[in-house]
A = this chain, B = another copy of it.
Amino acid sequence: MKGKEISSVENINSHIEEIENHAKIAVSVDCVIFGYDMEELKVLTIECNMDPYKGHPSLIGDLLDEGEDLDQAANRILKERTGIDNLYLEQIKTFGKVDRHPLGRVITVTYFALVKKADYNSNGMRPSPNSQWIALSQIEEMAFDHLTITNVALDTLRKKLLEYPIWMKLLPIDFSLPELQNLFENIIGKPLDKRNFRKKILSLDIIQESGKKQKDVPHRPANLYRVNQKKLKKEYSFLLKNPFHN
């Protein structure tokens, strides 16, 4: 029996092909925007007004424009919705189930972004009235496949958190070690030993004492730290700017 040849040779990657006549598809970019208010990790959502998901929170996103790169689109969306430019963002995954959106076929490229909540609240912009921060622990359902997306984003964040000091993108300039530990516990989802946590973080040499202390707390005030910029530049320079990986 003579072997059949594997597939034809014609291919988008090898030969000229009629791209114009081929199926084109709507592509959206959705962002899982994380913020941390010294208590809980939250996600910025907008209320969905579309059957069958009416009333459910959905992620922040938009359709990709013709002449727009993916990272550009993510940045545009973040700027539009938070008022902040150049947020830390990273592509997560692309979701493309045929029936994932009730309006028709839309595949979505997803990103996660990290926002300092103080910036969000104090830029002179008024958030759109039907958007809100929801604590991760409070999220039960979301529109479309957005709960799945949020969970994948959280997994990604968890992993990155242990590899790189991206937590700094969620914190104000001055922060305390207990606040940082709480952030970690929130994201990782389990309590950490205080002494071991401090030892670990301080050994990284990525933060330094600011000299300041907490004020007006009904207990011993914590020392405030800030990021060691030298170390940051030397070892994590990609955290200094918005990384365009594309």
Contact = CB atoms under 8 A, between A and B. Distances in A.
Interface of A: 1, 3-9, 11-17, 19-20, 22-28, 30, 46-50, 58-70, 80-83, 91, 93-98, 101, 103-107, 109, 124-131, 143-144, 146, 245-246
A234 to B, nearest CB: 22
A11 B124 contact: no
Given A4-B126, A97-B69, A124-B3, A22 B26 contact: yes
25 contacts: A3-B124, A4-B126, A5-B125, A6-B80, A7-B128, A8-B128, A9-B128, A13-B61, A14-B49, A14-B58, A15-B49, A16-B49, A16-B50, A17-B63, A23-B26, A24-B24, A25-B25, A27-B27, A27-B96, A68-B98, A69-B97, A70-B94, A94-B109, A95-B246, A96-B246
Nearest to A92: B93
Contacts of A26: 19, 22-25
B128 A62 contact: no
Given A22-B26, A25-B24, A6 B128 contact: yes
Copies of this chain in its oligomeric complex: 2
Contact of A19 (B58, B97, B106, B246): B106
A13 B58 contact: yes
Contacts of A67: 98
Contact of A125 (B6, B91, B96, B246): B6
A24 to B, nearest CB: 4
Contact of A12 (B15, B28, B127): B28
B3 A125 contact: yes
Contacts of A17: 63, 103
Given A6-B81, A13-B30, A20-B104, 20 more contacts: A6-B127, A7-B80, A9-B130, A11-B46, A13-B46, A13-B48, A13-B58, A13-B60, A13-B143, A13-B146, A14-B49, A14-B58, A16-B49, A17-B63, A22-B63, A23-B65, A24-B25, A25-B66, A68-B98, A70-B94
